[in-house]
Homo-oligomer: A and B are copies of this chain.
Amino acid sequence: MAPVSLDTINPKVLKCEYAVRGEIVTLAQAVQEELKSKPGSRPFDEILYCNIGNPQSLGQQPITFFREVLALCDHPSILDKSETRGLFSSDAIERARQILDQIPGRATGAYSHSQGIKGLRDAIAAGIEARDGFPADPNDIFLTDGASPAVPYYLDEATGWGLEVSELKKQWADAKSKGITPRALVVINPGNPTGQVLAENNQKEIVDFCKKEGLVLLADEVYQENVYVPEKKFHSFKKVARSMGYGEKDISVVSFQSVSKGYYGECGKRGGYMEVTGFGPEIREQIYKLASVNLCSNISGQILASLVMSPPKDGDESYESYSAEKDGILSSLKRRAKTLEDAFNKLEGVTCNKAEGAMYLFPCIRLPEKAIKAAEAAKTTPDNFYCRGLLNATGIVFVPGSGFGQVLGTWHFRCTILPQEDKIPAVVSRLTEFHKSFMEEFRE
């Protein structure tokens, strides 16, 4: 007798889906294996992964200063050795010392306070203040293993809404009419999968809507460093709320940040934080209790989260090289975003919004009726059908829009801007060629 079968497993497990690592990615891995075991079996020789926001897997290099500090905190006994000064920048050595002094017993191998090491939360709060121009309280900071584990599962989430307030109101009324009381609005800004950067006025309307309807505003702000157009700037939702005169008692805002995105791209380090504001002490206590059940987030990730919020400053030994690395990454991402956006807009039946920020483009594709029927016959969705064909013909991996909740009857795919710059021409030419032949094949 098998203890667990598909009949006895928790049905929620079966229902769970994760678009970014779904069918297309499994297929891509199979094709990659095939390329290895049978070179030449396909009209391409490598997989071009445009499916996941994982910059360093595609060749982006980590920021040197951050890695220096992490290494020194991992092995503090070299801090006082003379050879160390030849290997590490002086401000990295100094920063590692400061961080170690903030850790009780300098024990980087101990569970920390459940919210994260206090001194690191101080640095993060100071970084938020410098960014926003409004106070931030270290006791509001909860350090987390990246941003994914931070979205509290105990709140009813309402996601997938457009950001026009008229649309929000419609969705709200619709939920209410079904007997559902939404408790929170999740906004990702800059946006995933859309790459949009919200205008400040739009953010103000959203804040007012949440305040009026008593919704917690869950602000996924992990792409705060990823803005590529001069006419847009990142504004945290907390800053927007404070600038409107709303304080702790007026609105509940949770801001999420991660070390995985930005120019740092340290996905594997699993570091991040949430800044929790506008909850009473009773609820704060419950959030703390849940954090303590999870023990604490990993200490290297905690250290890195403090570093991204307090990078080297003008005058520090590392400042110049740090700035050059940062600017190099961000300006390259900007060029890649523009190149891909232009390429998409040149494709028949495809429209792609401006790549304002984040790491994604989310082009809309109008598929011929014949392709939609073919997808149906293949028992899949039209966007998945397209992405499957693209992968098989070119090795390019997109994520079908179905995984992100697109408007009924429209089809999209999400494409990251993360392949290194020397790979972008191949993405563009192979995509363009495939698209032409796909449209020819299914033309009415």
Contact = CB atoms under 8 A, between A and B. Distances in A.
A415 interface: no
B18 A104 contact: no
Nearest to A282: B6
Given A5-B280, A154-B12, A298-B300, A267 B111 contact: yes
15 contacts: A4-B216, A6-B283, A12-B154, A18-B289, A21-B293, A55-B110, A64-B77, A68-B75, A71-B75, A81-B86, A83-B87, A108-B268, A112-B268, A145-B145, A268-B296
B87 A81 contact: yes
A67 B56 contact: no
B154 A9 contact: yes
Contact of A267 (B16, B67, B110, B267): B110
A145 B298 contact: yes
A68 B54 CA distance: 27
A183 B269 contact: no
A74 B71 contact: yes
Interface of A: 1-6, 8-10, 12-14, 16, 18, 21, 52, 54-59, 62, 64, 67-68, 70-72, 74-75, 77-78, 81, 83-84, 86-88, 104-105, 107-112, 114, 145-146, 148-149, 154-155, 183-184, 214-216, 252, 260, 265-270, 279-280, 282-283, 286, 289-290, 292-301
Contacts of A16: 289-290, 293
Given A4-B155, A87-B81, A87-B87, A268 B105 contact: no
B286 A57 contact: no
Contacts of A270: 145, 270, 295-299
Given A70-B75, A74-B71, A286 B87 contact: no
Given A57-B105, A70-B74, 4 more contacts: A3-B214, A3-B215, A8-B183, A268-B298
Contacts of A295: 146, 148, 267, 270
Contacts of A21: 114, 292-293
A328 B117 CA distance: 29
A110 B67 contact: no
Contact of A266 (B83, B105, B109, B282): B109
A183 B4 contact: yes
Contacts of A110: 54-57, 267-268
A41 to B, nearest CB: 21
A222 to B, nearest CB: 13
B57 A107 contact: yes
A146 B88 CA distance: 30
Contact of A109 (B18, B71, B267): B267
Nearest to A8: B183
Nearest to A297: B270
A298 B301 contact: yes
Given A67-B74, A145-B270, A62 B4 contact: no
Contact of A4 (B52, B57, B105, B283): B283
B300 A269 contact: yes
Nearest to A270: B298
A107 to B, nearest CB: 4
A310 B31 CA distance: 33
